């Protein structure tokens, strides 16, 4: 992707135009030196964590001769405690759905049909894993850390 700044406004192009300025046809086949002389430079998108950052408006980076986006840290109106509560609610919802896949074994067990031991063990492991992750979430001390915490079920 290329961009050019015209009258203070940055315009992006997915490809170099076929015609530009005095060149009616074939401008896109010219060299990058010609494009840069006209003001066309690469657009560079920096890497960033979309959970905790976002990209600002496209800017000219004179030091590197490229157009790029500033990476801006997100802010949250919720407190750390509120973010933790939301994360834990999501955590428990995920594990509840996982446990619900085998609930029928437990219901049958109440009616006298024993649940297989591997199901009982798997359910216990899920509850332990959920409790461990809840402790990990509660140990986090910053909003960024809470928001960045990834709930991965093994």
pLDDT tens profile 96-122: 999 999 999 999 999 999 999 999 999
Is residue 22 within 8 A of residue 34, CB to CB? The reply is: no
Residue 25 is given by DSSP the state S
Contacts (Cβ under 8 Å, ≥6 apart) of 92: 130, 134
The token pair that represents 88 in the structure block: 């834990």
Q: For position 25, what pLDDT does the model report?
A: 86
In DSSP terms, 43 is beta-bridged to 67
What b-and-e string marks burial along 74-107, b requiring 16 or more CB atoms within 10 Å of the CB?
Answer: eeeeeeeeebbeebbeebeebbeeebeebeebee
pLDDT tens profile 9-29: 999 999 999 998 888 888 999
Query: Percent of the chain at pLDDT above 90?
Result: 92
């Amino acid at each position: 992707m290329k961009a050019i700044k015209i009258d203070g406004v940055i315009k992006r192009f997915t490809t170099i135009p076929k015609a530009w300025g005095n060149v009616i046809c074939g401008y896109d086949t010219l060299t990058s030196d010609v494009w840069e002389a006209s003001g066309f430079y690469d657009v560079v998108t920096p890497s960033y964590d979309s959970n905790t950052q976002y990209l600002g408006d496209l800017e000219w980076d004179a030091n590197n001769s490229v157009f790029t986006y500033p990476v801006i840290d997100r802010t949250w109106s919720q407190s750390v405690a509120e973010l933790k509560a939301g994360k834990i609610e999501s955590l428990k919802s995920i594990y509840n759905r996982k446990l619900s896949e085998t609930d029928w074994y437990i219901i049958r067990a109440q009616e006298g049909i024993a649940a297989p031991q591997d199901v009982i063990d798997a359910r216990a492991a899920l509850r332990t894993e959920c409790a461990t992750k809840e402790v990990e979430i509660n140990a986090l001390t910053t909003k960024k850390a809470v928001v960045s915490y990834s709930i991965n079920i093994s």
